[in-house]
């Protein structure tokens, strides 16, 4: 009976933990990144406000810091013709498919103390992640047609 209970306890612990892919991703994402470019799946001029904050032009060149041990971070808008300064957020990496390694990236804006006024966040697809590059994708509809926003980062040292 004790062996059965111990076995069930171990299985429960294993099923509650994060996967190896997510743990590895958190190690890779840790540190400082620059959001270099924001591009779209379709040609054209679009008036896009990212993360309910500022325009695409303001986000390009922004600095990001990820602290995975407490799932927090800060991004800083630096362009002088934009509303500059740091913005805090919480993030979570949620694995979608163990075979493909694709996962969702959830980002929730917060204040400096980690509190969210609306408890609203953004679901992005973390489509690629390496030691030097990262890409997020956000899928939505424009005029009823599928539309994807690509956010391309490089790691800074």
- Domain ranges in the chain? 32-156
Q: What is the DSSP-derived secondary structure letter of residue 19?
A: P
Structure tokens at 47: 């008036």
Would you say residue 18 has pLDDT above 90? no
Backbone conformation region of residue 134, classed left if phi is above 0, alpha if psi is from -120 to 50, else beta? beta
Q: How many residues does the chain have?
A: 157
Looking at residue 113, its pLDDT comes to 86
Q: Who wins on pLDDT, 156 or 29?
A: 156
Greatest Cα-to-Cα distance within the chain, rounded to the nearest angstrom: 69
CATH fit for domain 32-156, picks 3.40.640.10, 2.40.128.280, 2.60.40.1180, 3.30.420.40? 2.40.128.280
In terms of Cα–Cα distance, which of 64, 73, 39 is closest to 151? 39
Would you say residue 6 has pLDDT above 50? no
pLDDT digits (tens, 9 = 90+) for 103-137: 788 899 999 888 888 888 998 888 888 999 999 99
61 pLDDT tier (thresholds 50, 70, 90): very high
């Amino acid at each position: 009976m004790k062996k059965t209970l111990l076995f069930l306890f171990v299985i429960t612990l294993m099923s509650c933990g994060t996967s190896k892919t997510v743990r590895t991703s958190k190690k890779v994402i840790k540190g400082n990144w620059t959001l270099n470019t924001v591009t779209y799946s379709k040609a054209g001029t679009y008036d896009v406000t990212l993360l309910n904050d500022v325009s695409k032009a303001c986000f390009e060149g922004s600095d990001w810091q990820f602290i995975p041990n407490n799932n927090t971070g800060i991004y800083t808008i630096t362009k002088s013709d934009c509303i500059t300064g740091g913005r805090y957020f919480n993030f979570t990496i949620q694995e979608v498919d163990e075979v493909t390694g694709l996962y969702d990236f959830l980002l929730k804006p917060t204040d400096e103390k980690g509190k969210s006024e609306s408890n609203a966040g953004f679901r992005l697809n973390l489509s690629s992640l390496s030691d030097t590059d990262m890409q997020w994708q956000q899928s939505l509809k424009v005029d009823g047609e599928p539309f994807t926003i690509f956010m391309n980062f490089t790691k800074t040292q």
